[in-house]
Amino acid sequence: MKIVVDAMGSDGYPKPDVEGAVLAAREYGVEIVLVGKKDVVEPELAKHQTAGLPISIVHASQIIEMNEHPAAAVRSKRDASMVVAMQMLKRGEVDAFVSAGNSGGCLASAIFYLGRIKGVERPALSSVFPTRQGPCFLLDIGANADCKPVYLQQFAIMGSLYAENVLGISKPRVAIVSNGEEEGKGSILVQETIPLLKESGVNFVGNVEGKDIPAGMADVVVTDGFTGNVIVKLSEGVAKFMLDMIKEEIKARPLAMVGAALARGAFAQVRKRLDYREYGGGVLLGVDGIVIVGHGRSDALAIKNAIRVARQAVEARVVPSIRESIAAHLTTTIQE
């Protein structure tokens, strides 16, 4: 298996991207192609023990920065690392692409160069969300700020397949985010989507409210990209707020020294349990290829795990499964 990695992706590029790729090549035995400015990537790679590892470099002279307008940047920078890598994936030279770069740019270049899987209306960005009962797969988290019911139906089908085949959750419980658990609740979008979810063939368990998501009431949670983005970022913000506040309170108490020591250990463990890096980034579902989009703040561990997820998605045949499911669903719908 051959995976192309954007060496100029993360906020701290190329260090974490290259190191993560080296770790993955060593640990998972995958072949790695690093794409980026050769004069930057080569010396970075030389810092590592790579003898015998199947790692090569492909030169790309440009970079899409975090603050650029995604679609415009993808159009104007034809030699950006992200664009070059996406084209390699399109030509079938590699099996998957991993980038911790501009996620809008990944989305735009994936749509432009790979195209959508036949029958898929809109690709979705997804994220694995830690909950009380293990990981939950959330989509869309930002690719489509405004959605139609059929988009959400397809997100449910794709998300359910992914949760089953890659995350190993059998018969995943699929839910839709709403402003109340009762079926009568919800925006017009939610109310119009519910009948489509019922006939989508997934294990649809109904509406979830905000508080049900961290409680782990569903394995796959679908929502529009606006709400999904708010969910992911608000959770990060609330978690940080809580950790900061609890640390303050523990340190302010008598036995502060003991408290600080205890807190350090406990908090490190909590952070590990919540660590987005362990989950290896979000997958872009619905495009005709495996694209894993890591967090901009990715370090080497996050990049390594993103490569692990890419490998799992290829092995689980995510793209062909989605193609078959969407085609089968379209046939059923038309026959009805």
Residue 48 beta carbon to a second copy: minimum distance, rounded to whole angstroms: 34
Give the other-Cβ count within 10 Å of 201's Cβ.
Answer: 14
Our finding on whether 11 is near a second copy (CB under 8 A) is: no
79-106 as b/e: b if 16+ CB within 10 A? ebbbbbbbbbbbeeebbbbbbbbbbbbb
Residue 66 as a binder of a second copy (CB under 8 A): the answer is: no
**Closer Cβ to a second copy, 261 or 328, answer by number:** 261
214 binds a second copy (CB under 8 A): yes
Give the residue, chosen from 116, 210, 296, 321, that forms a contact with a second copy under the rule CB under 8 A: 210
Among 49, 51, 184, 335, binds a second copy (CB under 8 A): 184
Footprint (CB under 8 A) of a second copy, residues 283-322: none
Any contact of residue 243 with a second copy (CB under 8 A)?
A: yes
For tokens 């839709």, the residue is: 176
- Whose Cβ is closer to a second copy: residue 42's or residue 192's? 192
Binding mask 152-181 for a second copy (x = CB under 8 A): -------------------------xxxx-
- DSSP state, residue 148: -
Long-range contacts formed by 63-66: CB under 8 A, 24+ apart? 63/8, 63/13, 63/36, 63/37, 64/101, 64/102, 64/105, 65/102, 66/11, 66/101, 66/102, 66/296
| Contact range with a second copy by CB under 8 A, out of 46-54, 82-90, 264-272, 289-297 | 264-272
By the rule CB under 8 A, 134 interacts with a second copy: no
DSSP secondary-structure letter at 114?
I
**Interacting positions 30-49 with a second copy (CB under 8 A):** none
Q: Is 237 a residue that touches a second copy (CB under 8 A)? A: yes
**Amino acid at site 135:** P
Contact in structure between 280 and 313 (CB atoms under 8 Å): no
Could you tell me the two tokens for 78? 């034809």
Query: In angstroms, what is the minimal distance from the CB of 200 to a second copy?
Result: 22
- HSE of 108, CA atoms in CB hemisphere, 13 A: 20
Given 1, 40, 205, 270, the residue binding a second copy (CB under 8 A):
270
CA distance 236 to 228: 13
| Spatial contact of 252 and 169, defined as CB atoms under 8 Å apart | no
Q: Enter the tokens of residue 168.
A: 């190993």
Are 132 and 215 in contact, with CB atoms under 8 Å apart? yes
Q: Is 65 an interacting residue with respect to a second copy (CB under 8 A)?
A: no
Scanning the structure block, which residue is given the tokens 């030509």?
91
**How many residues bind a second copy, per CB under 8 A?**
63
Choices 19-27, 79-87, 113-121, 225-233; region in contact with a second copy by CB under 8 A: 225-233
R_g of the chain computed on alpha carbons: 21
Which region among 18-26, 47-55, 240-248, 296-304 touches a second copy (by CB under 8 A)?
240-248
Binding residues (CB under 8 A) for a second copy: these are 67, 69, 131-132, 142, 145-146, 177-180, 182, 184-188, 190, 209-215, 224-227, 229-246, 249-250, 252-253, 255, 258-259, 261-263, 265-267, 269-270, 273
